[in-house]
């Protein structure tokens, strides 16, 4: 198929494009930077500069590529994590999930693109009631990430209405995905907050990419949790990450002390977060993970 990957130079796009090319697809991948055009060409794609927030730029890029499927991987998350100021940190990403999604869907409709696959998020932001592990039938927490939650809800609603697939990726790890977190862990600036009982779900970039390829090839529809087999509380995964990184064991900080320093989102994630089940993706897409658990993946990746 002709596959248009919007955001192909991003941390996941750089793992996705080669997998699509290897399976025989013709890939057009976009970046906002001319400096990254060479990288995308090396990965086997036709490289295009596109501004996802400019409707004309998006329309022209999609019309030129004439794809069979569009894969929306556009984000703007880089630099040191700033969970305390989540809305500010995710401001551009929120626009890409709202305006950018709308521009891509309009371009798809204009030339009759058959299918649409979009990146969503499902790491710790399941509804904070009931059990600790959520399926696709459970709603996301509308208060988890401020304006980010609203942007995700918009993306999921319009993509599902258009007959596309929404992939709720867990927290990414793998080449280039957790460097900033690992640095904070090594500096002992990433503590376990409260009892560390909040759950998170992780996924290796290569596994996230392979699930995306399946969603593309099978023209999947609806919502899928793309996470590994082991959602786990912070008090388990964070000390393991530290050990794999050769760092000292993380400190423990009470929630009342962490709240003014790290912000409410960090406290919520560490103490009340809900993870996700991958049963639907494994059952309906036939997805098989190379890294079924973050325990194995952290160890191999940081060895």
For residue 145, the model assigns a pLDDT of: 78
Please write the tens of the pLDDT for every residue from 148-194.
Answer: 999 999 999 999 999 999 999 999 999 888 888 899 999 999 999 99
Q: Which residues contact 209 (CB under 8 A, 6 or more apart)?
A: 12, 15, 16, 19
Please write the tens of the pLDDT for every residue from 84-99.
Answer: 666 776 788 999 999 9
Whether the per-residue pLDDT at 203 is higher than 70: the answer is yes
For residue 85, the model assigns a pLDDT of: 67
Q: Which residues contact 182 (CB under 8 A, 6 or more apart)?
A: 241, 245, 302
CB 58 within 8 A of CB 104: yes
What class, spelled out in words, does domain 2-301 have in CATH?
alpha beta
DSSP state of 141: P
Residue 69: helix, strand or coil by DSSP? strand
Per-residue pLDDT, averaged over 282-292, amounts to 98
Q: Which residues contact 185 (CB under 8 A, 6 or more apart)?
A: 238, 241, 242, 245, 247, 250
Average of per-residue pLDDT values in the chain: 95
Instruction: Provide the pLDDT confidence category of residue 82 given band limits of 50, 70 and 90.
Output: low
Q: How far apart are CA 80 and CA 54, in angstroms?
A: 27
Q: Which of 54-58, 79-83, 171-175 has the highest mean pLDDT?
A: 54-58
Q: How far apart are CA 169 and CA 266, in angstroms?
A: 19
**What does pTM read for this prediction?**
0.95
Whether the per-residue pLDDT at 248 is higher than 80: the answer is yes
Residues constituting the chain: 303
Q: Percent of the chain beyond pLDDT 70?
A: 97
């Amino acid at each position: 198929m002709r596959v248009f990957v919007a955001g192909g130079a991003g941390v996941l796009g750089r793992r996705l494009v080669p997998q699509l090319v290897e399976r025989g697809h013709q890939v057009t991948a976009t970046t906002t930077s001319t400096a990254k055009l060479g990288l995308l060409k090396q990965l086997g794609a036709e490289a295009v500069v596109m501004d996802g927030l400019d409707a004309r730029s998006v329309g022209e890029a999609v019309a030129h590529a004439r794809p069979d499927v569009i894969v929306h991987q556009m984000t703007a998350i880089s630099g040191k994590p700033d969970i305390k100021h989540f809305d500010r940190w995710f401001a551009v990403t929120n626009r890409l999930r709202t305006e950018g999604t709308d521009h891509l869907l309009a371009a798809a409709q204009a030339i009759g693109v058959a299918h649409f696959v979009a990146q969503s998020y499902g790491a710790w932001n399941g509804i904070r009631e009931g059990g600790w592990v959520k399926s696709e039938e459970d709603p996301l927490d509308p208060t988890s990430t401020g304006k980010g939650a609203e942007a995700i809800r918009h993306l999921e609603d319009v993509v599902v209405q258009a007959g596309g697939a929404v992939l709720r990726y867990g927290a990414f790890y793998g080449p280039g995905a957790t460097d900033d977190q690992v640095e904070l862990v090594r500096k002992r600036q990433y503590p376990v907050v409260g009892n560390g009982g909040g759950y998170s779900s992780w996924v290796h970039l290569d596994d996230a990419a392979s699930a995306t390829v399946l969603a593309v090839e099978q023209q999947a529809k609806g919502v899928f949790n793309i996470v590994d087999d082991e959602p786990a509380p912070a008090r388990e995964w964070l000390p393991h990450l530290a050990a794999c990184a050769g760092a000292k064991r993380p400190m423990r900080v009470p929630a009342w002390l962490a709240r003014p320093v790290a912000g409410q989102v960090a406290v919520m994630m560490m103490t009340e977060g809900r993870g996700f089940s991958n049963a639907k993706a494994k059952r309906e897409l036939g997805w098989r993970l190379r890294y079924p658990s973050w325990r194995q993946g952290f160890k191999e990746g940081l060895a």
